Amino acid sequence: MTLLAAASAVRENAYAPYSRFKVGAAIRAASGKVYAGCNVENVAYPEGTCAEAGAIAAMVAAGDTVIAEVLVIADSPSPVPPCGGCRQKIAEFAAQDVVVTLCTTDGTQQAMTVADLLPGVFSLAHMAKT
């Protein structure tokens, strides 16, 4: 299954009663397996959890820990990037040159790298003492 097909399918399962803004994400792990996630809102946290975080959680729960590729899709006039928290989560599991493709439901796509998505990423190197 392609990342676009997986993200598009899971997007339909998004629980977005407040924003009505459904987002789907799919990740290809280094193992080749595809993991998908959608946004989930609730009354106490109406902005909800993000699709990317859901896909990452599914990947880790299955035992994979390395992201090879990411795709995000939403019904928006322009491609929607992951939020700041999801950018950091992606950077935790992906190399800086991993491609992140942002898509709209009408077919617009924008590809960038993790480094483009999150310049100045915080990493373990910042905590190392020499």
Domain coverage including residue 28? 3-127
80-104, pLDDT tens digit by residue?
A: 999 888 999 999 999 999 999 999 9
> Exposed, middle or buried: residue 119 (CB in 10 Å: 0-12, 13-18, 19+)?
exposed
3-62, pLDDT tens digit by residue?
A: 999 999 999 999 999 989 999 999 999 999 999 999 999 877 766 778 999 999 999 999
- List the binding residues: 39-45, 50, 83, 86
Report pTM.
0.91
Overall domain count for the chain: 1
Q: Report the CATH number at residue 62.
A: 3.40.140.10
Q: Which of 47, 52, 69, 92 is catalytic?
A: 52
Question: What is the number of alpha carbons within 13 Å of residue 110 lying toward its C-beta?
Answer: 14
- List the binding residues for substrate: 39-45
Res. 130: pLDDT tops 70: no
Mean pLDDT throughout 104-111? 98
pLDDT computed for residue 46 by the predictor:
67
Is residue 52 flagged as an active site residue? yes
> Residue 120 has what DSSP assignment?
T
